[in-house]
Chain A
């Protein structure tokens, strides 16, 4: 990481009588320390990256003081496997990742930990990446909890409550001997708020206070007959114990309301949205006091049947607010009411859509549909229909006046991104007559964006680190070779084993491009085993990708600096056409520009302030020679390569233009050169704090060029001495 988290760590140190003010994910991190956690592991991914980033940034400070072991795991399966420490020992531990993708990877270890059971509290903090802003396939975590008998909490997004539920989560885990998953949606992780802090406390055992001897218990091993006993225990002991704990400690909350012939049961994470919707239709006040009673499920699995039955018993109609499909809660509640012989009408999917996040407007319409259908006794329905009608009117008016949908703004590669040139090269190599269109097995990472305009490259995506593995079935069905993409993040996550060893073992004859930008960039530039951070990581701790691949027996391995588009194109061409059989690996190397700039900018500023000579490079387009066909943009897509109105009164189409965001990576010039586009690009090296030699050369050149044709030299002109 090229970032500092000193401010965050300071917040984590606060204790009794103080307050925390900050983001939800950091509040959760603080809650772990207040709960006496002894180890924390995880795999980065929005929205929970921050938890790991902050804790590992201070492993030698606060963590060492508290005796907490922190570890960035190789992947989510490794993180889940860390929970093994809690199987035999009364040690509290927490692991974290993005769900459901991370939970998918972790599922093997998770099932085993859940089956063996735990004696120390085992918590899994899940960043539920569902809905707007999500970067993954859309699924819910709920089914994992059900199948593995790991409990699932979904806390109401209110800092004091979230912190309290983390602490309660450990107790629940210990009371029921099961791991507990706590899910936080993206917005809940980023929500800011405050709570009264308590002192951090060290765990019962820690790196400062070590275990004495190992515990052996065959009953906790995944071997029959223990596994049969474990299954029975899950159902007969742990499940009821969990229910008792949830009930006794009031983990779910009932908020009374005056219209108590109806009610709402919502998942904790959706509570605030329910209140906002009710406020808008005049059924709740600003402090969240609702006219309709609400049962807020902070624990969404298991459900406490009698709690729900008691809530429903006095009501004609109850609305279930849960996102996604299948509607597990609606089904379960219908079933439990049937068993309890209650006739309460259950409303859910129907007024709510079956798929997708319940954003504000969806929530409002769902609540309005429920209220209008169930007609709570004494409720004024006027504001309900008025609120919905007002939204309809505004949106209709806007649509009518705008005259068409506002164009989308898809994300793309950052300015100066080192991965972009690789895709420019792939686009160009496909123009070669002996290559043509190539099937591309894409992977997860920043490079997935190649599928978006202007590149449109990538035919399938099947999971993190699985780019190469996903080509196994398709490659044999093409005459030409296929190209697979894998990032260095994906490579270390599992790509080395599931992709490269598999391809080498099975003699795949295809091409793999490894995007080695040196970081897990899409998740926030975390370090990887192969990270060099521009030489800042000691050499003996870096694990080079090239050596790992060669160690597996792959012979055709080439490294190429990504920005050299022409060379990259030729290398791709060679890999696609060489008679040599077997896997061809191109390691496309260049440092992530975000990380690089974060490191270099302060250094540059310092050097400038110290009066040192610093050369700044920028690119530009000559507006007079640009004819406005924009081929350069279609081959680059750089955010700083844009268009502007044509200063030439005769031309109508806008000219290409490089704005001030340019970091001088040189791709536009490289592309113009490799694709033989046009002579409009120029590179400008601006010499800041020029030396005497620079100025002398400048003066001499200015004088001669002036003679030749009157090329007025700006610097010389500006600098009177040289003129």
Chain B
């Protein structure tokens, strides 16, 4: 190996290799050019290359940078040979702009305990697979963080997205700051700063981002507070009901039931809240009878959750109520980043059809309209497209008027329908609890299939009814409870596996023994 002949300091034996894994549109290319410019300003031979991938957004893009940390003049005309690929076992710094991309770097063997500093933003940018799941498709990142901490020589996992947002900067500048502040690169922070200035684009914002990253990683600046979800307004006079929760329900269930009772009161009135607790008490009784005390009263917690959600079904009255709430406008303004003094005009996209109209009619009329609608498939397609401007006087008045229909709700068709099903579900839940705790829990979670609006809601309800009638109701009446619980679980997973219901049909026709297998397939 070569060593220096002319200088006091021997020449480095190897180059410094780093890779940047970013997502399209995050400015990975600019970040790379800053690093290259900084290395160049020190006279280091430097090379970078990239796989920008397809120019389109959201795909992963990688940039590879290599430099030789010695001034060109010391090399006597020689030049180091540098690679064009990130090489496992040969990386000094691995940078990823998002946590799952750090997982990818780990998987590829780029991060090794002998030399790699892993710098990654700890926030998540969800992939399309995670986003489009019908339930919660987000990947669990606990193992990923553990792996990063185990395999990196020095792991630096920071929410750089939050730092960027708090400082009005792009994430690439924050990453550069963290990189500089880590002290792991043989390049001083000033060189990076000059690189930003020399580029001459959005210099102020980039320097702000750079400084935010630099200061935070050096321990000079704390992480800005995460934006907290706005407090929900507590309905008036709910204290007595909350006191009843504390008196009559075990501690494990109180949080859930308090949230549930607040929701029910907000939705209808105090009597509705009391009705919620009456039903929750029934669940608790069944829970206690089947040994729930040893299981943290999970049946009451989950049953209480779905009872509250079901009781507060989203009819047009509820939607109008939520959309015309005094607090909503502030939330919208915050979300869209409107500054003080900037008027915001909000337009709602409402599209009620026969179902929505039927839902607020008296049961007899509502049923008749629904039956009439079902006679011809074309009638399903009838909708009134409404674009309501909520900030205009007329627009607001319309929403407010709809919300005021709340008093009428208990006499509506949909209310009657929902309640008849809620009672059936509660009865099945109680019946199941007498046989098996697992079975009862499965039935408690079944209403999660009833989600969405319009077509999505119709499909969800149809799925719920099919699973309930074919599996839950017979199981609640008796039989092999363990097998029934497994079948219910499989059906529930399958119903959420694809919007077309293909997986659910497969599970429902399969003999019980194959249910688990179908479920595995459905989950794929």
Name A's B-contacting residues (CB within 8 A).
21, 46, 132-133, 135, 157-158, 186-188, 190-193, 272-273, 275-276, 279-280, 284-289, 359-361, 364, 387, 390-391, 394-395, 397-399, 401-403, 405-415, 433, 446, 449, 452-454, 521-524, 594, 618, 620, 622-625, 627-631, 633-634, 637, 639, 641-643, 647, 649-654, 658, 660-661, 669, 672-673, 675-679, 681-688, 690, 694-695, 697-698, 701, 704-705, 708-715, 717-719, 722
17 contacts between A and B (CB under 8 A): A46-B54, A272-B81, A272-B83, A275-B81, A276-B85, A285-B1, A391-B109, A406-B106, A453-B132, A633-B131, A650-B256, A658-B335, A673-B351, A675-B455, A690-B342, A701-B396, A713-B329
Q: How far is the CA of A700 from the CA of B208 in the complex (A)?
A: 40
Q: How far is the CA of A285 from the CA of B79 in the complex (A)?
A: 11
In the complex, are the beta carbons of A679 and B453 less than 8 A apart? yes
In the complex, are the beta carbons of A157 and B84 less than 8 A apart? yes
Q: Is B415 on the interface with A (CB-CB < 8 A)?
A: no
Q: How far is the CA of A678 from the CA of B47 in the complex (A)?
A: 51
In the complex, are the beta carbons of A630 and B131 less than 8 A apart? yes
In the complex, are the beta carbons of B330 and A714 less than 8 A apart? yes
Contacts A285-B1, A522-B54 known; 5 new A-B pairs at CB < 8 A: A276-B85, A454-B128, A622-B328, A630-B134, A701-B391
One digit per residue, 1 when the CB lies within 8 angstroms of any chain A CB and 0 when it does not, for chain B 1-33 equals 110000000001111000000011100000000
Interface members, chain B 356-409 (any A CB < 8 Å): 377, 383, 385, 390-393, 396-397, 400
Q: Is B55 on the interface with A (CB-CB < 8 A)?
A: yes
Q: How far is the CA of A553 from the CA of B31 in the complex (A)?
A: 52
In the complex, are the beta carbons of A642 and B126 less than 8 A apart? yes
Q: Which of B14, B15, B143, B383 contacts A676 (CB 8 A)?
A: B383
In the complex, are the beta carbons of B128 and A718 less than 8 A apart? no
User: In the assembled complex, how far is the CB of residue A487 from the closest CB belonging to chain B, in whole angstroms?
Assistant: 13
Given contacts A187-B84, A402-B106, A449-B56, contact A192 B342 (CB under 8 A): no
Q: How far is the CA of A351 from the CA of B80 in the complex (A)?
A: 27
Given contacts A407-B130, A650-B309, contact A288 B80 (CB under 8 A): yes
Given contacts A360-B88, A402-B106, A629-B456, contact A687 B343 (CB under 8 A): yes
Q: Which residues of A contact B309 (CB under 8 A)?
A: 650-651
Q: Which residues of A contact B325 (CB under 8 A)?
A: 711
Q: Is B182 on the interface with A (CB-CB < 8 A)?
A: no
In the complex, are the beta carbons of A188 and B391 less than 8 A apart? no
In the complex, are the beta carbons of A359 and B55 less than 8 A apart? no
Q: Is B345 on the interface with A (CB-CB < 8 A)?
A: yes
In the complex, are the beta carbons of B308 and A711 less than 8 A apart? no
One digit per residue, 1 when the CB lies within 8 angstroms of any chain A CB and 0 when it does not, for chain B 66-105 equals 0010000000001111111111111000000000110110
Q: Is B296 on the interface with A (CB-CB < 8 A)?
A: no
Q: Is B511 on the interface with A (CB-CB < 8 A)?
A: no
Given contacts A630-B133, A649-B259, contact A408 B127 (CB under 8 A): yes
Given contacts A682-B332, A684-B345, A719-B340, contact A135 B229 (CB under 8 A): no
Q: How far is the CA of A642 from the CA of B51 in the complex (A)?
A: 25
- Determine which residue in A403, A524, A618, A709 has the highest number of CB atoms from chain B within 10 A of its CB, and name it: A709
Interface members, chain B 95-146 (any A CB < 8 Å): 100-101, 103-104, 106-109, 111-112, 125-136, 138-139, 143-144, 146
User: In the assembled complex, how far is the CB of residue A481 from the closest CB belonging to chain B, in whole angstroms?
Assistant: 22
In the complex, are the beta carbons of A627 and B85 less than 8 A apart? no
What is the chain A residue whose CB lies nearest that of B320?
A679
In the complex, are the beta carbons of B57 and A639 less than 8 A apart? yes
In the complex, are the beta carbons of B109 and A394 less than 8 A apart? yes
In the complex, are the beta carbons of A681 and B336 less than 8 A apart? no
In the complex, are the beta carbons of B81 and A686 less than 8 A apart? no
User: In the assembled complex, how far is the CB of residue B404 from the closest CB belonging to chain A, in whole angstroms?
Assistant: 9
In the complex, are the beta carbons of A715 and B333 less than 8 A apart? yes
Q: Which of B56, B127, B230, B263 contacts A407 (CB 8 A)?
A: B127
Q: How far is the CA of A351 from the CA of B37 in the complex (A)?
A: 39
Q: How far is the CA of A415 from the CA of B350 in the complex (A)?
A: 24
Q: Which residues of B contact A407 (CB under 8 A)?
A: 100, 127, 129-130, 139
Q: Is B221 on the interface with A (CB-CB < 8 A)?
A: no
Q: How far is the CA of A672 from the CA of B453 in the complex (A)?
A: 10
What is the chain A residue whose CB lies nearest that of B84?
A187
Q: How far is the CA of A438 from the CA of B347 in the complex (A)?
A: 35
User: In the assembled complex, how far is the CB of residue B236 from the closest CB belonging to chain A, in whole angstroms?
Assistant: 14
In the complex, are the beta carbons of A361 and B87 less than 8 A apart? yes
Given contacts A285-B2, A620-B332, A637-B128, contact A709 B81 (CB under 8 A): no
Q: How far is the CA of A658 from the CA of B334 in the complex (A)?
A: 12
In the complex, are the beta carbons of A679 and B350 less than 8 A apart? yes
User: In the assembled complex, how far is the CB of residue B415 from the closest CB belonging to chain A, in whole angstroms?
Assistant: 18
Q: Which of B50, B54, B324 contacts A411 (CB 8 A)?
A: B54
- Determine which residue in B128, B143, B151, B333 has the highest number of CB atoms from chain A within 10 A of its CB, and name it: B128
- Determine which residue in B82, B260, B314, B335 has the highest number of CB atoms from chain A within 10 A of its CB, and name it: B335
Q: Which residues of B contact A452 (CB under 8 A)?
A: 128
Given contacts A634-B499, A684-B346, contact A192 B338 (CB under 8 A): no
Q: Which residues of A contact B327 (CB under 8 A)?
A: 712
Q: How far is the CA of A163 from the CA of B66 in the complex (A)?
A: 21
Q: Which residues of A contact B130 (CB under 8 A)?
A: 407, 643
In the complex, are the beta carbons of B85 and A187 less than 8 A apart? yes
In the complex, are the beta carbons of A190 and B135 less than 8 A apart? no
Q: Is B292 on the interface with A (CB-CB < 8 A)?
A: no
Given contacts A286-B68, A410-B59, A694-B343, contact A387 B89 (CB under 8 A): yes
Q: Which residues of B contact A697 (CB under 8 A)?
A: 343
In the complex, are the beta carbons of B147 and A401 less than 8 A apart? yes
Q: Which residues of B contact A288 (CB under 8 A)?
A: 80-81
Q: Which residues of B contact A676 (CB under 8 A)?
A: 351, 353, 383, 453-455
Given contacts A190-B52, A522-B55, A684-B346, contact A630 B132 (CB under 8 A): yes
In the complex, are the beta carbons of A705 and B129 less than 8 A apart? no
Q: How far is the CA of A191 from the CA of B85 in the complex (A)?
A: 11
Q: Is B273 on the interface with A (CB-CB < 8 A)?
A: no
Given contacts A407-B100, A522-B55, contact A361 B109 (CB under 8 A): yes
Q: Is B474 on the interface with A (CB-CB < 8 A)?
A: no
In the complex, are the beta carbons of B103 and A402 less than 8 A apart? yes
User: In the assembled complex, how far is the CB of residue A124 from the closest CB belonging to chain B, in whole angstroms?
Assistant: 22
In the complex, are the beta carbons of B47 and A192 less than 8 A apart? yes
Q: Is B519 on the interface with A (CB-CB < 8 A)?
A: no
Q: How far is the CA of A690 from the CA of B345 in the complex (A)?
A: 12
Given contacts A287-B2, A446-B56, A677-B456, contact A683 B135 (CB under 8 A): no
Q: Which of A287, A711, A718 contacts B79 (CB 8 A)?
A: A287
Q: Which residues of A contact B109 (CB under 8 A)?
A: 361, 391, 394-395, 398
Q: Is B60 on the interface with A (CB-CB < 8 A)?
A: yes
Q: Is B213 on the interface with A (CB-CB < 8 A)?
A: no
Given contacts A273-B85, A414-B56, contact A398 B106 (CB under 8 A): yes
In the complex, are the beta carbons of A360 and B83 less than 8 A apart? yes
Q: Which of A287, A521, A684 contacts B338 (CB 8 A)?
A: A684
Q: Which of A286, A401, A405, A713 contacts B1 (CB 8 A)?
A: A286
Q: Which of A272, A627, A652 contacts B453 (CB 8 A)?
A: A627
Q: How far is the CA of A193 from the CA of B40 in the complex (A)?
A: 10
In the complex, are the beta carbons of A401 and B146 less than 8 A apart? yes
User: In the assembled complex, how far is the CB of residue B461 from the closest CB belonging to chain A, in whole angstroms?
Assistant: 12
Q: How far is the CA of A406 from the CA of B323 in the complex (A)?
A: 39
Given contacts A711-B324, A714-B344, contact A686 B127 (CB under 8 A): no
Q: Which residues of B contact A661 (CB under 8 A)?
A: 25
In the complex, are the beta carbons of B326 and A711 less than 8 A apart? yes
Q: How far is the CA of A409 from the CA of B124 in the complex (A)?
A: 12
In the complex, are the beta carbons of A287 and B81 less than 8 A apart? yes
In the complex, are the beta carbons of B453 and A273 less than 8 A apart? no
Q: How far is the CA of A681 from the CA of B128 in the complex (A)?
A: 19
- Top 3 A-B residue pairs of the complex, sorted by shortest distance between their CB atoms: A718-B340, A411-B59, A288-B81
User: In the assembled complex, how far is the CB of residue A12 from the closest CB belonging to chain B, in whole angstroms?
Assistant: 18
Q: Is B269 on the interface with A (CB-CB < 8 A)?
A: no
In the complex, are the beta carbons of A273 and B83 less than 8 A apart? yes
Q: How far is the CA of A681 from the CA of B14 in the complex (A)?
A: 55
What is the chain A residue whose CB lies nearest that of B90?
A280
Given contacts A188-B84, A287-B78, A715-B344, contact A631 B336 (CB under 8 A): no
